[in-house]
């Protein structure tokens, strides 16, 4: 079931709500530059097991509205709070992949984890995607600057290149084309705005504030968000557990989808 939720005047979020009568709720936050449809292989299976699965499209992406502004982590986490309140969610698992993981961290810090009982960070872009002074982890700043430049120069070609480094396991050409189309759904200005946020913002204090049980899932072959960042998240978050995925890149939810679904559901049920 799909519907829209207003997060601020003239800005609506698309919400995919599967199995609303489910025993436990998982709210999925997708990564850049995709949409909630990236979690197709979770939405195929987890509702069968009795879970309510809610996927939302971040502003600027998928089927949500695409305003020119509002792509900082504060605003994006406020958007999530609006959805949580509108749907009356409580005692739910918040699952964020990549940039969605960064938004989840800011939500936990800024909104004190409102309604969240458990957190799942999947290849999360936190506490800083880029290397900084006194933080020699992550990717070089030039990597992100090139994404921004190529978004403005030739966004389809940029998306093709990004897709090529997203998965570790072999994917078909048809799957690659599908992934590419998800990226094209986004607005160009939103596609560039999120990488600018990666440069401007950090999430160290947000990680320190997390106190709910947290599962950290990270592919050891991740070429987008290096595995070391998962290890650092594990150090910062008190009640956390890191599960390395030996045969996954950035798209861990697809590279090892059966194992991913099992690990996530086992964590929720504990």
Q: Percent of the chain at pLDDT above 70?
A: 100
- Tokens coding 136: 């020699």
| Residues facing residue 16 across a β-bridge | 2, 55
Please give the model's pTM, rounded to 2 decimal places: 0.98
- Helix intervals (H) in the chain: 40-43, 73-87, 99-110, 141-164, 173-184, 188-200, 204-209, 227-236, 252-255, 257-269
- Active centre residues (catalytic): 98, 222, 250
| Residues facing residue 52 across a β-bridge | 25
pLDDT in tens, 68-125: 999 999 999 999 999 999 999 999 999 999 999 999 999 999 999 999 999 999 999 9
Residue 149 has pLDDT above 90, yes or no: yes
pLDDT in tens, 189-222: 999 999 999 999 999 999 999 999 999 999 999 9
> Which are the contacts of 191, defined by CB distance < 8 A and separation ≥ 6?
32, 33, 60, 151, 155, 183
pLDDT of res. 1:
78
Q: Which domains does the chain have, with CATH numbers?
A: 2-269 (3.40.50.1820)
68: left (phi over 0), alpha (psi -120 to 50) or beta: alpha
In this prediction, residue 270 has a pLDDT band, given cuts at 50, 70 and 90, of confident
Mean pLDDT of all residues belonging to the chain = 97
Written as one string, the DSSP assignment of 133-155 is: TTB--SB-HHHHHHHHHHHHHHH
Rounded to whole angstroms, the Cα distance separating 128 from 106 reads 12
Q: Whose CA is closest to 17, among 117, 84, 65, 77?
A: 84
Average pLDDT over residues 8-18: 97
**Distance from chain centroid for Cα 176:** 19
Q: Determine how many CB atoms are found less than 10 A away from the CB of residue 20.
A: 12
């Amino acid at each position: 079931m799909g519907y829209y939720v207003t997060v601020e005047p003239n800005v609506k979020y698309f919400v995919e709500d599967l199995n609303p009568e489910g025993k436990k709720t998982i709210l999925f936050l997708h990564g850049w530059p995709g949409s909630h449809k990236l979690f197709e292989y979770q939405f195929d299976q987890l509702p069968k097991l009795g879970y309510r699965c809610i996927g939302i499209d971040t502003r600027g992406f998928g089927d949500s509205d695409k305003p020119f502004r509002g792509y900082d982590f504060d605003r994006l986490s406020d958007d999530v709070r609006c959805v949580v309140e509108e749907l009356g969610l409580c005692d739910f698992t918040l699952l964020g992949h990549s940039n969605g993981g960064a938004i989840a961290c800011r939500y936990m810090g800024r909104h004190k984890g409102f309604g969240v009982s458990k957190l799942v960070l999947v290849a999360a872009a936190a506490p800083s995607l880029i290397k900084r002074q006194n933080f020699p982890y992550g990717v070089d700043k030039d990597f992100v600057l090139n994404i921004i430049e190529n978004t403005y120069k030739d966004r389809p070609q940029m998306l093709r290149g990004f897709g090529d480094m997203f998965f570790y396991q072999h994917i078909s050409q048809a799957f690659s084309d599908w992934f590419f189309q998800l990226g094209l759904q986004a607005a160009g200005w939103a596609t560039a705005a999120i990488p600018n946020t990666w440069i401007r913002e950090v999430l160290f204090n947000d990680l320190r504030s997390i106190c709910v049980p947290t599962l950290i899932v990270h592919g050891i072959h991740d070429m987008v968000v290096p595995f070391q960042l998962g290890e650092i998240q594990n150090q910062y978050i008190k009640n956390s557990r890191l599960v390395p995925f030996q045969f996954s890149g950035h798209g861990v939810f697809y590279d090892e989808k059966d194992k991913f679904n099992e690990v996530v559901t086992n964590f929720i049920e504990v």
